[in-house]
Structure 1
Amino acid sequence: MNVVLITIISLGALGSLSAIILFFVAQKFKVFEDPRIDQVEEVLPAANCGGCGFPGCRAFAEALVKADDISDLNCPVGGADTMSAAAGILGKEVTAAAPMVAVLRCNGTCDNRPKTSNYDGASSCTIASTLYGGETGCSFGCFGLGECVDACDFDAMYMDEKTGLPVIIEDNCVSCGACVTACPKDIIELRKKGPKSRRIYVSCVNKDKGAPAKKACSAACIGCGKCVKTCPFDAITLENNLAYIDYEKCKLCRKCVDVCPTNAITELNFPPKKPKVEKAETAE
């Protein structure tokens, strides 16, 4: 009986001593977490989309708290209101970032880009891209299997059965970049929405020379350089037979649209141009 009692007392004492030791060890190595992280996380949209460049809203909140300057940090889903709320909690200043939106840089519709073969494999753009160049003569264009649509958590995209291309619903797009990451062809880009949601960009990523590009798709950029020469703001560059419009420099004058021989340049949300009125000849 004494042996049992001594054993119980010894184990109890040993357990108590271990608990005390663990308590002091935990206190010594305790990691302090700024309570403002929780406060900032509460004003974030909890989308956990990764559009901010961090794995989730919690990680983004931690980055905001730790950063001395948060002007380069942005929550695309919450936008300016969310960033202002976070800045208010932290007592920091933030510059409102220009709203962005996803755009499709491919105009290879079924009419513009006829099929040369039929794919009968897994319904995945990523898998298809590792197997072959596509069902048409253009190896740069959209596969049309909708992996970008599946990646979007905000119902901002759908596949158009008529064109075979994804359509972006501007009002739903939060510019999280999930579709950009999902596309193995790199034909989706985040660009500034622009004033009155007006944008101009080259809807093509084909880097082939003019003749092969035009043969593969009637709306391909053929690298003629007319848009570069026409642009008065040096907003367009031509590299590897492909034109690109810098949205930071573009003033939306639309001169490039008028001179593009293949209609590879897309203009969105502009009013229709007024027809030019020819001057009547003066009678002699």
Structure 2
Amino acid sequence: MADTIILAIAILGGMGLLFGFGLAYIARKLAVTEDEKVEEIMNILPGADCGACGCAGCKAFARELAAGKRKPSECVVGGKEVALKLASLLGTEAGEFQPKVAQLFCMGGREESGLRFSYIGITTCEAANLVGGGFKKCEYGCLGFGDCVAACQFGALSMDENGLPVIDREKCVGCGACVKACPRGLISLVPEDARVFVRCSSKASPGEVTKACTVGCIGCRRCEKACEYDAIHVDKDTALASIDYTKCTACGACVEVCPRKVIEIEEIEAERSEAA
């Protein structure tokens, strides 16, 4: 009896050892060797894993970059400095780099746009937007729960006392996470040197806008007429003004004539330094 047990244990042990060696051999034969270049690229990348490049993290971007499927400039978070380092490592062109920052296109906070009904539910913009088209009078305006703030891993957004997100231009890397997080599409990436913004996204009629918000664009076209550079136009379908940043000189003419004060000109850091 004892001999039988010992024999069984010996057979099982031998089989286990045999299978172990077999699996180790197969694993070595089928192992995918990581390109050393990928590791070198990873050492340069910021490691944010933000997905702004369109890849599922920095590792995936590094593999595609090493394979020649991507350009160094596509790492938005790394910026020009990282793009140049990657280009030097790979012996290729960095690619065209156009830095962008996020901007909010809504001024309708708690004071400017009232409530249609009291909302008691999950405190996220995504959830609130699903209930009756949102609780604010403006069906296009910011809901103020800060989904965009939660999405930003760089600390570039915060909520003000009026229930609107504030974007820190100096911290924003243009990854676009906040753009994706906003269920109403109120945040967009614009050229880093853009200075003039129409802070409204309402597609309602001028009459409806007037009732819903004290600062909404009513499509009066005064801005359009005041601009001598043909840089701002009012859409005939939505009655909403928008700016062509390839033409805008930030002269401020549109800002001055807007009766609703929905167009703003933003001073950038370089100009603040020069003024000081």
Look up the SS of the partner of 1:131 in the other structure: coil
Take 1:85 and 1:100, find their aligned partners in 2: how far apart are those partners?
20
Identity of aligned residues (%): 38
Residue in 2 that maps onto 1:40 = 41
> Structure 1: which 5+ runs fail to align?
273-284
The answer as to whether partners of 1:206 and 1:221 remain within 8 angstroms in 2 is: yes
- Would you say how many aligned residue pairs link Structure 1 and Structure 2? 266
> Structure 2: which 5+ runs fail to align?
none
Take 2:15 and 2:130, find their aligned partners in 1: how far apart are those partners?
65
Take 1:202 and 1:147, find their aligned partners in 2: how far apart are those partners?
22
Look up the SS of the partner of 2:171 in the other structure: coil
Take 2:200 and 2:15, find their aligned partners in 1: how far apart are those partners?
76
Q: By how many angstroms is 1:226 displaced?
A: 2.8
Take 2:79 and 2:39, find their aligned partners in 1: how far apart are those partners?
19
The answer as to whether partners of 1:103 and 1:168 remain within 8 angstroms in 2 is: yes
Q: By how many angstroms is 1:120 displaced?
A: 1.6
Q: Tell me the alpha carbon deviations over residues 60-96 of structure 1, each in whole angstroms, 9 at most, x when there is no partner.
A: 111221226616x422222111111111111111145
Residue in 2 that maps onto 1:242 = 240
State yes or no: 1:253 paired with 2:251.
yes
Within 5 Å, which residues of 2 pair with 1:200-279?
200-239=196-235, 240-269=238-267
Look up the SS of the partner of 2:113 in the other structure: coil
Match of 2:111, as an amino acid? D
Residue in 1 that maps onto 2:132 = 132
The answer as to whether partners of 2:196 and 2:264 remain within 8 angstroms in 1 is: yes
Q: By how many angstroms is 1:116 displaced?
A: 3.7
Residue in 2 that maps onto 1:23 = 25
The answer as to whether partners of 2:64 and 2:70 remain within 8 angstroms in 1 is: no
Residue in 2 that maps onto 1:188 = 187
Take 2:141 and 2:156, find their aligned partners in 1: how far apart are those partners?
21
Residue in 2 that maps onto 1:78 = 78
Take 1:21 and 1:148, find their aligned partners in 2: how far apart are those partners?
48
Q: By how many angstroms is 1:150 displaced?
A: 1.2
Take 2:19 and 2:111, find their aligned partners in 1: how far apart are those partners?
80
Match of 2:190, as an amino acid? R
**TM-score when normalising by structure 1:** 0.81
More displaced stretch, 14-23 vs 235-244:
14-23
State yes or no: 1:57 paired with 2:55.
no
Q: Tell me the alpha carbon deviations over residues 218-276 of structure 1, each in whole angstroms, 9 at most, x when there is no partner.
A: 2111122232333344333433221221323322222222222211112101779xxxx
Within 5 Å, which residues of 2 pair with 1:141-160?
141-160=141-160
